[in-house]
Amino acid sequence: MTKRRSIGFIAAALVAAGAVTAVCFGDALAIAHAQSAPFGATARPLEVLGSAKPWLTAVPGGPQALRGKVVVVNFWTYSCINSLRALPYLRAWDERYGDKGLVVVGVHAPEFGFEHDTARVRQAANQLGVRYPNLQDNDYAVWQRFANQGWPGFYFIDAEGRVRGYRIGEGEYAGAEKLIRKLLVEAGQDLAAAPVSPITGTGVEAEADWAHLGSPESYVGYDKAENFRSPGGLRKDRAASYAAAADLGLNNWNLAGKWTVGREFAALDGAAGAIRFRFHARDAHLVLGGAPDGRPVRFRVMIDGAAPGADHGADVNAEGWGEVREDRLYQLVRQSGAIDDHTVTVEFSGPGVRAYVFTFG
């Protein structure tokens, strides 16, 4: 199936003067190279992994045990929908080929501040079933040595320690598995008893409906915010009262209530408030953070002013009710019928909640 590129996902990561700019890549039309490492990447990837720390889930036998193995390195971050939709493939490869000489290594490079918290990442990895070795790369040291360019990033390393392939973005997983099998056979493995079978994600990890994806990743913090339509615009780094726009065009959004909009997120200051987005996609997600005092914050999702019913996401019920307890991605909408333009409204019932970014699928 031809997959349409979502413009909000496509950008290059820049590594200059020690600074890193990174984005989520949303489809198979992102950067893909089958036979070489990206320009500027290390020629000794196993040495980089060997000196990296901290390991949240250790390599059995230590990083030195990667020598002689075929290694798939995945750069990910746990609130990124593109990273989440890649997990079924990584878990399946780990299960299929783990006893055939393959090691999958996750390199968790955080996008948002809360993803720097090691305890949160460990909890998220456990909830997501990430059992393979996983490394926390808060300062992007491994990212820069690999010359990585976005989430999800994949590097395929042969048993001689050479990068034989890499790609950035979702999709083309059959080709990736074919390369894994080729490298394992080169290493002397017999894969006759390890047949290839389809891999399918479920829930929030299900493949996007690319044919009907017409909304890009859309940030709420002012550093990357676009298409904001509340009267008066965003007021940076100070509490302000916002009102809903009279009308929202496609991929426009607004706030209602008293919010403080920072570089990375908007925090609700009032006892109640709402955020609204006009989108075109099967799925709608919002990355949310909990209140500072740790108390859950209830929210309600409405689609075009009505309860979602059968079109509710995994984190809300048919009446639209959900609760922010953890800092993570929340699935608000999964439509079951024809895809059209709709407005999703999220109403919050308590202060302190933080809204980071809308993503779609």
pLDDT reported for residue 140: 98
Contact criterion met (CB below 8 Å) for 63 and 50? yes
Beta bridge partners, 275, equal 255, 346
pLDDT reported for residue 180: 98
DSSP H or E stretch at residue 121: helix 118-127
pLDDT reported for residue 149: 93
pLDDT reported for residue 8: 30
Task: Domains for the chain: give ranges and CATH numbers.
Answer: 7-205 (3.40.30.10), 214-360 (2.60.120.260)
Q: Phi, psi at residue 50, to the nearest 5°?
A: -65, -30
CB atoms within 10 A of CB 237: 11
283-289 vs 328-334, strand pairing mode: antiparallel
Contact criterion met (CB below 8 Å) for 301 and 345? yes
pLDDT reported for residue 39: 86
pLDDT reported for residue 37: 82
**343 vs 357: CA distance, rounded Å:** 16
pLDDT reported for residue 36: 73
pTM here is 0.92
Residues in the chain predicted with pLDDT less than 70, given as ranges, are 1-35
Beta bridge partners, 112, equal none
